[in-house]
Amino acid sequence: MASKATYSCQNCGNVTNQWAGKCGACNEWNTIIEERAEPIAVTGQKKASSRAQSSLELETFDGQDQIIARYDTGFGELDLVTGGGLVPGSAILVGGDPGIGKSTLLTQLAANVANKGQRVLYFSGEEATAQVRLRANRLGVKKAPVELAAETNLEAILATIRTGKAPSLCIIDSIQTLWTQTVEAAPGTVTQLRATTHALIRQAKKTNCCVVFVGHVTKDGAIAGPKVIEHMVDTVLYFEGERGAQFRILRAQKNRFGPTDEIGVFEMRESGLKEVTNPSALFLSNRNEKGPGTCVFAGIEGTRPVLVEIQALVAPSPFGTPRRAVIGWDTGRLNMLLAVLEARCGIVLGKHDVYLNIAGGIKINEPATDMAAAAALISAFTGNVLPDESVFFGEVSLSGGIRRVSHVDQRTREAEKLGFADCYLPANTSENTNVTIRCHPITHLSQIVKIIST
Ligand code: TYD
Ligand code: MG
């Protein structure tokens, strides 16, 4: 039976029955390609008809399950992000830009788990075994009993998993190189990605093996991005950071077995990734010049306080429409803040280019950043430096009022621990009782303008 051609977007997975230059769902250009979507015939699956006849055996919420302990990853940061280690039988997707360090992280993870006596399989679809060995050598984990193969065919991988002692961890680097002969589409297309991921997840659930998929984030539509399989896996982790900088941040986007707001911080060294247990000290380590336009923000990532530096630059615009560029923060929030500064504080930046950067390559999306970003902007605009050794946090409302935020105690304690003397925070916060850092309650953004201008 000839299958009908469908057209799917390699970025978001949207399926249409007509080709178009631009995807209607995600607005990306040139990402739609023709695919023949045949029903996925997973090998070893029983015929649908014989399944339909027998009724299901139903269970209760109260049933007894055999609980298998999580596997310790050997990285405190990775345990934190996954919610306490790898869950047997779960599927994890590790996404990130090419070259960010996904293979490095997973090679180290594989070695850590294998060294604890578990069977670990590593399937490399991108690199030859010699290259993987070279990396393992560089990372100093050559002796770890990881079983390695350079393979991209799904059926061969499944057959390998089924033979011998059941593996505890299986790493697929990367999912975009896998292909199965049961579907008629090129490797890396949405159809192949879904079929191969589905088959591997089924196998994992059956044998209590944890599978970790690597998924490259791609800007062009040549191969499908990890977004199209996010709904199938239990945990989605994104590895981010700037390639030039030494920090790497592992962030949980979805986690069926743990929290989603935790971050893991790593440092890329000559000999691989090293976990960073005190991120604030690292993020502020390059802060030596204290010119106008820089401000330290006391933030919270998951359960941990993280201090970061916010940098702003304001310059008269040579063009009619001024530029707004933001790295690590939300452009929408910057625009809101600029409007509030103009309407409520008389700081008019309508004819200025505005640049805002969160130092260290970390992305922040807490509303509590508002006041710190505003302080950096006011300082950049007026040319006055902020008070020495001070941190800022608080949400700015459209009226210019400062709203209360959570975890005041943790933020102030972390600032105190790192040697800061003053803290500008929302008024009426009662939690900060046992700190010696000087707290300056702020009710309106105009107070910040006054503090910086005088
Ligand atoms: P890699 O793990 O191959 O990235 P990905 O799998 O995400 O594409 O590593 C990327 C970069 O990390 C590479 O440019 C070199 C650097 N690197 C180090 O700095 N130290 C190391 O020990 C290793 C193995 C890699
Ligand atoms: Mg790689």
Tens of pLDDT, residues 225-241: 788 889 999 999 998 88
Task: Tell me whether the omega of the peptide bond preceding residue 55 falls within 30 degrees of 0, making it cis.
Answer: no
213 and 175 in one domain? Answer: yes
Residue 292 has pLDDT above 60, yes or no: yes
Q: Which of 13-17, 192-196, 284-288, 358-362 has the lowest mean pLDDT?
A: 284-288
Same domain, 263 and 295: no
Residue 58 lies in a domain: no
Residue 336 lies in a domain: yes
Ligand with the closest atom to the CA of 102: 1
- Dist. CA 135 → ligand 1 center (Å): 8
| 173 domain-assigned | yes
Q: In terms of pLDDT, which residue wins out, 143 or 34?
A: 143
Instruction: Kindly indicate the confidence band of residue 354, based on its pLDDT and cuts at 50, 70 and 90.
Output: very high
Given 277, 303, 326, the domain boundary residue is 277
* Sequence letter at residue 325: A
Q: What is the pLDDT of residue 261?
A: 80
In this structure, what token pair is assigned to residue 267?
């440092």
Residues 32 and 121 in one domain: no
* The pLDDT of residue 381: 94
444-447, long-range: CB within 8 Å, 24+ apart, which pairs? Answer: 444/344, 444/400, 444/401, 444/402, 445/340, 445/341, 445/344, 445/345, 445/371, 445/374, 445/396, 445/400, 445/401, 445/402, 446/344, 446/345, 446/400
Q: Do residue 273 and residue 134 come from a single domain?
A: yes
Domain boundary among the residues 277, 300, 335 is at: 277
| 80 and 227 assigned to the same domain | yes
- Residue 107 CA to ligand 2 centre (angstroms): 10
Nearest Cα residue to atom 14 of ligand 1: 99
- Predicted confidence band at 335 (pLDDT cuts at 50, 70, 90)? very high
Residues 6+ positions from 133 with CB-CB distance below 8 Å: 142, 148
Ligand located closest to 125 CA: 2
In a domain, residue 360? The reply is: yes
The overall pTM is greater than 0.85: no
Q: What is the mean pLDDT of residues 382-396?
A: 92
Tell which one of 102, 104, 106 to mutate to probe ligand 1, the residue whose CB is within 8 A of the most ligand atoms: 104
CB atoms within 10 A of CB 307: 23
Task: Based on the fold, state whether residues 225 and 295 are members of the same structural domain.
Answer: no
* Residue 363 belongs to domain with CATH number: 3.30.230.10
- Structural domain includes residue 71: no
Report pLDDT digits (tens) over 136-150: 999 999 999 999 999
Which pLDDT value is given to residue 259?
82
Is residue 195 included in any domain, yes or no?
yes
Query: In this structure, are 312 and 430 located in the same domain?
Result: yes
Q: What is the pLDDT of residue 273?
A: 93
Which atom of ligand 1 has the smallest separation from the CA of 270? 20
Domain boundary among 277, 310, 343: 277
Band the pLDDT of 222: cuts 50, 70, 90. Answer: low
Q: Are residues 99 and 208 in the same domain?
A: yes
Mean pLDDT for 376-381 is 95
Can you give the CATH number for the domain in which 156 is found? 3.40.50.300
Residue 107 shares a structural domain with residue 32 = no
C-beta of residue 298 within 8 angstroms of C-beta of residue 279 = no
Shared domain check, 242 and 211: yes
Residues 210, 192: Cα–Cα separation, whole Å: 21
Q: Using a pLDDT cut of 90, give the percent of the chain over it.
A: 53
Domain count for the chain = 3
Position 167 pLDDT exceeds 70: yes
Q: Are residues 219 and 294 part of one domain?
A: no
Q: Is a pLDDT exceeding 60 seen at residue 43?
A: no
At 13 the pLDDT is: 82
Shared domain for 273 and 287, answered yes or no, is no
| Parent domain of 23 | 5-36
Pocket test for ligand 1, best of 268, 270, 271, 273 (most atoms within 8 A of CB): 268
Is 50 a member of any domain?
A: no
Find the residues whose C-beta lies inside 6 A of ligand 1.
96, 98-104, 135, 138-139, 268, 270-272
Give a yes or no: residue 321 inside a domain: yes
Mean pLDDT of 307-336: 92
| Percentage above 70 pLDDT, the chain | 93
